[in-house]
A and B are shown apart, each in its own frame.
Chain A
């Protein structure tokens, strides 16, 4: 057991400030445990989001010592007793209260993406896909929607281009659909125009913070950018790749 000092941002959309708390920390605790202890002992009305406490639901994203993190997966023993730990809400989104911010914009972006449209099933109603082909998509589908990547992406954070770019989370959501072996929808135009793929300049900051270790930029965004480039700058290449993949699928079935 040891005592630690926390500086926690308390306030709402109109104003706020960092408030200092001293509290005991037991072996094995994560930042979320400490926040709960402070909440139950010193600050009953301190707002924060959490659900699973095991890195599975993506509710507890915040900035700890300036880094976007899941509070439930940030162990206290990575900090020394002397270190003051600063906790604040994700800064890319408008704050609601204390550590809770308004992430509703993200839900709006999701709706922009054309939904999954499967090819027809076999006559017995079943679909065939090989594990090898789904591995790629499964990587993107691991996303827990913590929005830490959205928080860190400079297009949204610094340039505030929420009006034109959906951010890395929804780029990989689109990638997951585009690379889905059964999907037949064409989203290339949408990816360029509505999702704003051109705004990403491949800094890889999003990949660095993803708690699910999804290779957002290299496996998701870059291939999408390539598809867009192929379509708009070399329609012949695009057509042949589509046709040959269509033939491949037909042969496989």
Chain B
């Protein structure tokens, strides 16, 4: 008996420190890059590719590049020609928004940060007040962008550039989530009328390409409106993009709802919670948590789809890029232009992806989520 005890203690002390080579950077490299022969081959091939591509790309973008000049002819270097940025960055950001008023979208963008962070991060400072502010934010931003309250009015067909992508993308994201939740719940409703309406909406919208929805939006939307109301084209795009994303989100959330065991519904019922409260407090927090990857995936798709506004004559950042590439002064600089545009999308989409990973990991810390 006694010897068995010491044995156990001995084996514990031996295991206290792991073998040296499995920790630190050498340990990491050995474990992740050279753990087996196929793994080693892949590592060598990848390193070879990176070693050939990175220096060339770096040289093109920075070392041999030129960042000033009047037009493409003033760029004489072998690398990238960034001279146009200096002239055109305003258009890339704001489209045809009058230059003297461009401070307005800029302020709206800066105010977006305190409006959005208290919803993304729990226990953000001044969270309560900032959340009140974020509820007022859409009104503030609309006044800043469109005008009113003393500010001169700017017609929305002057909106463009990355600002347009952000406006359509963010409105779509913020609106499509609650609508998607309602559609998902409606699709599981016991009331046949609600259920069939939701199924009809989801399947119709999902069954059509977004580009087609945008094309027909000026025929389709007036059906649901009084005859004397004409919809602004930016509003029309926001509605279509929202409807499109909401249909996808509804299906993602429906998947999450189905994963929740019936015992959770029953426990909520047995406590006497109303349908609304049991969804809000018990079911949806869990269903949304499961659905985070799918929801963010849809949002990323939505954000990239904002480039489709071009089909109804609006110039988002990609539209501006297209216009510039076909401008005689800057023709032939498509690589530079599209790389520049791609960076904008990449930064936004990659941030969303990282945020979702961070959120998932933080929720996991609250303990294993098992039923």
Whether A associates with B in a native complex is no
Residues of chain B at the chain A interface (Cβ within 8 Å): none
Binding site for B on A (CB under 8 A): none
